[in-house]
Chains A and B, each alone.
Chain A
Amino acid sequence: MNRFTMQRRIAIALLSALSVGGVLILLDGHNPFEAYKVLFLESFLNYWGFSNTLVKASPMLLAGLAVIIPMRAGVFNIGGEGQIYIGGLFGAVFALAIPNLPGILGVPLIFIAAAAGGAFWAAIPAYLKAYRGTNEVIVTLLMNFIAIHIVSYAVAGPLLAEGAPYPYSEEVSDAYRLPILMPQSDTHAGFVFGLGMTIILYFWLRFTPSGFQLDLVGRNARAAAYAGVDQKKTIIRAMLIGGSLAGLAGAIEVIGLKYRLFHLFSDGYGYDGIVVAFLAALNPIVAPLTALFLAGLSAGAGTMQRAVGVDSSVIEVVEGLVVVFVAAALVTPRTTSISILKLLAKNLRLRRQTQRRKKEA
């Protein structure tokens, strides 16, 4: 399937998801057009709502890129969530250990530490995939749980802030906090940072031999080998980049939004990244749009409930429908696509689990 048909299919899938969601809103006794209008206005045209959308879209965008790059090399990284956690941990540990650098030096170093953490977490499944033939889907997925628990241990033990009522670390120093873009709001520079990454990656894939060859491996591994591309190294490279990007998502959550390392600080953004990536048809330049779309859905859901009376869980259903329809749109006779369908369906369940655990905690 070429990228054009892919994009068309995805557009149809989105419309289908919104239509089925509209029918549900109708069954709930409300006007779906009114509901969607409010949702859109609140998420994108309201100052506070848009701020909220941007805050959510920032980690989603980086997590989406963390899926896109490995997938372009034919490797399915569903370990974004774990890489976010380890990236956040590395970034926070660096920020807390060396608190007195000026921001201009400290923030880039925190980003480097977080990227290294995410890359380290991705290197393990990458090595197993490239040199041992182990299925990366299973390894990355299971490593998510390990990562979440490592962070829980860290913030409940060695990093626990004094007198904290909840497992979290001390605050990072003021110098390390990302600038706020929209006054009075939480909107930090994370999304702009993600946009920068998007442009770099887009140009890298399109205009450099190494990016072009990475793409080649994902499109046709045998042809790539025939062109002299080292497949193993390419897989490792793609996963290291993916892990770094997810690690950066972890860092912006820590130094952009919460200023501390929290227990269960990522709200399933690693899994949202999978949806962002496939909605964007694996094209980095489209990922900011799809991240905004997905973030807007969840940011506007609460307001929609208050304004129109539609239960906000309808939006969760719409998010689920998006996953299902997009997955269906991507199904080709190739078995890999069928596994994509299964995985995206699983993604929903995992996000629920994370949310439930957060509530329990």
Chain B
Amino acid sequence: MDPFLNVTGICKSFGAVRALHNVNLLASKGECIAILGENGAGKTTFASVLIGLYQPDNGEIKLGGAPVSVSSPAKAIEHGIGMIHQHFSLVGAMNAEENILIGLPSTKRGAEARARIRQLCSDFDFNVDFDIRVTEMPVGMKQRVEILKALFRDVSILILDEPTSVLAPTEIAPFLKGVRKLVANGCLVFFISHKLDEIREIADRVMVMRHGRVEGVLPVATTPMAQMSALMMGEKPTSETVGMPKAEKVRNDTSSAPDALVVSDVCLIDPGGAEILQDLTLTVKAGEILGIAGIDGNGQTELSEVITGLKRQTSGAIHLNGTEISSASIASRIADGIGFVPEDRHAEGLVLSLSVEENLAFRSIGDDRFMSGGLISRRAMHEIASDVVAAFDIRPPDPKLNASALSGGNQQKIVLAREVARARNLLVVVQPTKGLDVGATDFVQNQIRAVAQSGVGVLYISTELEHVLDISDRVAVMAFGRITGVVDPENTTLQDIGLLMTAAPEEVK
């Protein structure tokens, strides 16, 4: 007998990037398949091909033995394929029923339909309040409404994209129970995740992806977590160390240096109740580069924002050079000499409609070096900028040009140059090499090293593991808002880091 879903030879490229390369999969009804992989491994692209958001360049999808062409999400629903995205597509001002029935012809929205919704709800033991609007619902209930919406349309394949990442801890267990019911009722569920413990709990098989390829489809019950993690990270499950030759690399001995930054027991709970940061503690010594590794969306961005004052922690304390700054304003932290290279340089780090020289000044416009006689000195601004443009080789070398006219690498140099000049005590950098070519990456890394060598503590947050390992004196791994381990980059294996990233600490020791 043919399997229910048969995917063969799916390829998808975006320009020169191969997002999916020859993906094959056989799956049957009543099965839960986890899709595991790092950022950019192709998990979401694969799901998008299944639901018709992307058309594959090559390959074939067969449902129940017959080839199908999923040309749009509407077609996917016709074929019984539905997906629940991380960001829900519900109308806040409507209640659950209205959301579920939205877009259906009025003949299908009568009492019968309503009865069927209640029936589905009780079949799957879903707790949904039908009297309130979606905006008033907790996140977990919104998610159940999304799933009901798909079930009402008779999906037999349901794709869940990182479904637990938005949930409060107490909502996770009931959610997984609901998914198990779906599977028991003959649904084929894809569960995109990087949380190994959840995968172990919910999935029958795990499909591990890396660089757009399927590294293996393994039965969960008999596969050790270490093996899954190793496949995901692209390393044979041996204990060989990362150990790139670092003879040329100067490591600072900072063991006796004073603490530049101490973060103690910091918690951050978002309005939906999800714990973004949980009792997070870390120390950065003066002159040290502490790397933070982890998969995107595990609280790294929020950690940088809490330290620099853009977000206020729910509890816990932050000290800079021994002085508490837990409730200090952003402006006072800037004045305290904290430099910050934010993740999104376009939306946050730069004002694209301002000139290069104004961009080099805007975060510290009231500083003496930009002022003369109580007014902003445009001449000082220009002179300082001319020096920076020369020192950082910013091209084209015209400080009067709008920042929007520069390439990504040169824009990053503007942000970096400004923040390096600011950072007397601490430099926080998030994804500083994102989207940069090799040359620009090297330049950025060298600048950051130079800052550390001058005795400033550096917190280097990135999802690009090799960059983190390359530059850091110590690497802390973050998962689900916690530091799951701190390792020495020269004496650790990718496999260990992979396990820490997926928070399976019991197998790490």
CA distance A213 to B330 in the complex (A): 14
Q: A2-B404, A228-B330 are in contact. Are A209 and B366 (CB under 8 A)?
A: yes
Q: A219-B351, A223-B349 are in contact. Are A207 and B376 (CB under 8 A)?
A: yes
Contact A226 B353 (CB under 8 A): no
Contact B347 A228 (CB under 8 A): no
Pick from B310, B342, B354, B366: contact of A219, CB under 8 Å: B354
Contact A223 B351 (CB under 8 A): yes
Chain B at the A interface: mostly helix, strand, loop or mixed?
Answer: mixed
Binary flags per residue of B145-156, CB closer than 8 Å to A gives 1, else 0: 000000000000
CA distance A206 to B333 in the complex (A): 25
Binary flags per residue of A122-153, CB closer than 8 Å to B gives 1, else 0: 00000000000000000000000000000000
Instruction: Give the Cβ gap from A215 to chain B, nearest Cβ, in Å.
Output: 9
Contact A228 B365 (CB under 8 A): no
Pick from A216, A220, A225: contact of B310, CB under 8 Å: A225
Contact A206 B351 (CB under 8 A): no
CA distance A227 to B310 in the complex (A): 10
Question: Which chain B positions have C-beta within 8 A of A208?
Answer: 375-376
Question: Which chain A positions have C-beta within 8 A of B363?
Answer: 226-228
Binary flags per residue of B24-54, CB closer than 8 Å to A gives 1, else 0: 0000000000000000000000000000000
CA distance A206 to B371 in the complex (A): 12
CA distance A298 to B333 in the complex (A): 53
Question: Which chain A positions have C-beta within 8 A of B349?
Answer: 223, 226
Contact B310 A226 (CB under 8 A): yes
Question: Which chain A positions have C-beta within 8 A of B333?
Answer: 228
Question: Which chain A positions have C-beta within 8 A of B353?
Answer: 1-3, 219-220
Instruction: Give the Cβ gap from B325 to chain A, nearest Cβ, in Å.
Output: 13
Interface centre among A206, A216, A220, A225, by most chain B C-beta atoms within 10 angstroms, is A220
Q: A209-B376, A212-B365 are in contact. Are A228 and B329 (CB under 8 A)?
A: yes
Contact B402 A2 (CB under 8 A): yes
> A258 contacts the other chain (Cβ, under 8 Å)?
no
> A349 contacts the other chain (Cβ, under 8 Å)?
no
Q: A209-B376, A228-B330 are in contact. Are A220 and B365 (CB under 8 A)?
A: no
Question: Which chain A positions have C-beta within 8 A of B348?
Answer: 220, 222-223, 226
Binary flags per residue of B340-353, CB closer than 8 Å to A gives 1, else 0: 10100001111111
Question: Which chain B positions have C-beta within 8 A of A228?
Answer: 309, 329-334, 363
Chain A residue nearest in CB terms to B373? A207
Q: A1-B353, A209-B366 are in contact. Are A226 and B404 (CB under 8 A)?
A: no
Chain B residue nearest in CB terms to A1? B353
Contact B352 A220 (CB under 8 A): yes
Question: Which chain B positions have C-beta within 8 A of A220?
Answer: 347-348, 350-353
Contact B331 A212 (CB under 8 A): no
Interface size on B, residues (CB 8 A): 29
Contact A206 B376 (CB under 8 A): yes
> What's the count of A-B pairs with C-beta under 8 Å?
63
Question: Which chain B positions have C-beta within 8 A of A1?
Answer: 353
CA distance A209 to B370 in the complex (A): 10
Chain A residue nearest in CB terms to B347? A222
CA distance A213 to B402 in the complex (A): 18
Binary flags per residue of A202-236, CB closer than 8 Å to B gives 1, else 0: 00001111001100100110110111110000000
Question: Which chain B positions have C-beta within 8 A of A207?
Answer: 375-376, 378
Question: Which chain B positions have C-beta within 8 A of A226?
Answer: 310, 330, 340, 342, 348-349, 363
Instruction: Give the Cβ gap from A229 to chain B, nearest Cβ, in Å.
Output: 8
Chain A residue nearest in CB terms to B309? A228
Question: Which chain A positions have C-beta within 8 A of B378?
Answer: 206-207
Q: Which A residues between 1 and 39 are near B, CB-CB below 8 angstroms?
A: 1-3
Instruction: Give the Cβ gap from A19 to chain B, nearest Cβ, in Å.
Output: 30
CA distance A10 to B364 in the complex (A): 33
CA distance A226 to B352 in the complex (A): 14
Q: Which B residues between 347 and 392 are near A, CB-CB below 8 angstroms?
A: 347-354, 362-366, 371, 375-376, 378
Question: Which chain A positions have C-beta within 8 A of B334?
Answer: 227-228
Instruction: Give the Cβ gap from A335 to chain B, nearest Cβ, in Å.
Output: 16
Instruction: Give the Cβ gap from A138 to chain B, nearest Cβ, in Å.
Output: 18
Instruction: Give the Cβ gap from A273 to chain B, nearest Cβ, in Å.
Output: 23
Chain A residue nearest in CB terms to B363? A227
CA distance A216 to B364 in the complex (A): 12
Pick from B332, B362, B376, B402: contact of A223, CB under 8 Å: B362
Q: A208-B375, A208-B376 are in contact. Are A225 and B351 (CB under 8 A)?
A: no
Interface centre among B333, B342, B354, by most chain A C-beta atoms within 10 angstroms, is B354
Chain B residue nearest in CB terms to A228? B331
Instruction: Give the Cβ gap from B180 to chain A, nearest Cβ, in Å.
Output: 41
Question: Which chain B positions have C-beta within 8 A of A227?
Answer: 330, 334, 362-365
CA distance A206 to B348 in the complex (A): 22
Contact B376 A216 (CB under 8 A): no
Instruction: Give the Cβ gap from B283 to chain A, nearest Cβ, in Å.
Output: 25
Instruction: Give the Cβ gap from A219 to chain B, nearest Cβ, in Å.
Output: 5
Q: A226-B330, A226-B349 are in contact. Are A209 and B365 (CB under 8 A)?
A: yes
Question: Which chain B positions have C-beta within 8 A of A213?
Answer: 365
Pick from A206, A212, A222: contact of B362, CB under 8 Å: A212
CA distance A226 to B331 in the complex (A): 9
Chain A residue nearest in CB terms to B308? A226
CA distance A3 to B340 in the complex (A): 28
Question: Which chain B positions have C-beta within 8 A of A219?
Answer: 351, 353-354
CA distance A2 to B366 in the complex (A): 24
Binary flags per residue of B277-314, CB closer than 8 Å to A gives 1, else 0: 00000000000000000000000000000000110000
CA distance A226 to B365 in the complex (A): 13
CA distance A223 to B404 in the complex (A): 14
Instruction: Give the Cβ gap from B418 to chain A, nearest Cβ, in Å.
Output: 10
Chain A residue nearest in CB terms to B350? A223
Question: Which chain B positions have C-beta within 8 A of A209?
Answer: 365-366, 371, 376
Chain A residue nearest in CB terms to B331? A228
Instruction: Give the Cβ gap from A9 to chain B, nearest Cβ, in Å.
Output: 14
CA distance A243 to B364 in the complex (A): 29
CA distance A3 to B402 in the complex (A): 10
Interface centre among A209, A213, A216, by most chain B C-beta atoms within 10 angstroms, is A209
Q: Which B residues between 378 and 413 are near A, CB-CB below 8 angstroms?
A: 378, 402, 404
CA distance A103 to B192 in the complex (A): 77
Chain A residue nearest in CB terms to B374? A208
CA distance A320 to B366 in the complex (A): 43
CA distance A227 to B365 in the complex (A): 9
Question: Which chain B positions have C-beta within 8 A of A223?
Answer: 347-351, 362
Chain A residue nearest in CB terms to B361? A212
Question: Which chain A positions have C-beta within 8 A of B340?
Answer: 226
Question: Which chain A positions have C-beta within 8 A of B331?
Answer: 228-229
- What residues make up the interface of A, taking CB atoms closer than 8 Å to B? 1-3, 206-209, 212-213, 216, 219-220, 222-223, 225-229
Q: A207-B375, A208-B375, A212-B362 are in contact. List 4 more A-B contacts (CB 8 A).
A: A216-B362, A223-B348, A227-B363, A228-B329
Query: What are 28 A-B residue pairs whose CB atoms fall within 8 Å in the complex?
Result: A2-B353, A3-B353, A206-B378, A207-B376, A207-B378, A209-B366, A209-B376, A212-B376, A213-B365, A216-B351, A216-B362, A219-B354, A220-B347, A220-B348, A220-B351, A222-B348, A223-B350, A223-B351, A226-B330, A227-B330, A227-B334, A227-B362, A227-B365, A228-B329, A228-B331, A228-B332, A228-B334, A229-B331
The 6 A-B pairs with the shortest beta carbon distances in the complex, nearest first, are A228-B331, A228-B330, A207-B375, A209-B366, A227-B363, A220-B351
